Amino acid sequence: MARQVRSSKDAILGAARREFAARGFAGARVESIARAAGCNKAMLFYYFSSKEKLYRAVLSRALGEIFAEIAGIVHEQLTPAEFMEKFPEIYVRFLARNLDLPRILVFDLVHRPENIAAAMTDILRANTDFRPQRFQDMIRSWHRQGLISEGDPLHFMLNVVSLSIFSFLARPLVEAISGLKVQNDEAFCRARIQSVVRILKQGMLK
């Protein structure tokens, strides 16, 4: 029985992640996912029953990984300064290591936000210990204590996340406009983290 179930299913999931990341949902070809996974196209439908469902599996996996990476930092009782140092470090490095994820996410973010919302709901249901509400309250309390200048949790998080994630999307554009080229990824990561931490602390800490 099923000695290597996992291997095929996982191979498909991995190949699907790469394909969806590279071409988007509509651009991805079921056939080439199967080929990349080293199996027959029918295997894919055997395990996932449709392209759509395969995609959802990939998406919630991706979201789950990002989420797991961030969840820790949200639980610790950090000062705002510590948070502004740790978050970009963790987030930027994680994204640099897993470029597929922002590529997948960004497409849904723009073209099918309901998808993300749905996947997010699943994750939140699975991680019952994580309460976004608590995180919001923390930001609000930082503001009430006069520690930070941005009192709206939505804009606080938008500022933090924007600065950390957008460079991975916009780099080609900014490079094209500016004529500057990023040669070394590690150097870029370090510089980006440094710049983000500085503007966050200087800009939102009181």
Partner DNA sequence: GATTGGTTTAACCATATGGTTAATATAGTA
Partner DNA sequence: TACTATATTAACCATATGGTTAAACCAATC
Q: Which residues bind DNA (CB under 7 A)?
A: 1-5, 7-8, 28-31, 39-43, 45-46, 49-52
- Binding to a copy of itself (CB under 8 A) within 172-201 occurs at 172-180, 182, 191-192, 195-196, 198-201
Cβ proximity of 120 and 66 under 8 Å? no
* Amino acid, res. 47: Y
CA dist., res. 109 & res. 92, Å (int): 19
Which residue, among 204, 80, 198, 193, has the nearest Cα to 141 in the 3D structure?
Answer: 80
Which of 83, 88, 67 shows the shortest CA–CA distance to 189? Answer: 88
Question: In this chain, which stretch among 4-12, 47-55, 88-96, 153-161 interacts with a copy of itself, using CB under 8 A?
Answer: 153-161
Tokens 């204590």 belong to residue: 145
Stretch that binds a copy of itself, among 6-14, 30-38, 87-95, 112-120 (CB under 8 A): 112-120
- What, of a copy of itself, DNA, none, does residue 196 touch, CB below 5 to 8 Å by kind? a copy of itself
Q: Which of 47, 61, 78, 136 binds a copy of itself (CB under 8 A)?
A: 136
Q: Enter the tokens of residue 24.
A: 């988007």
81 lines the binding site for a copy of itself (CB under 8 A): no
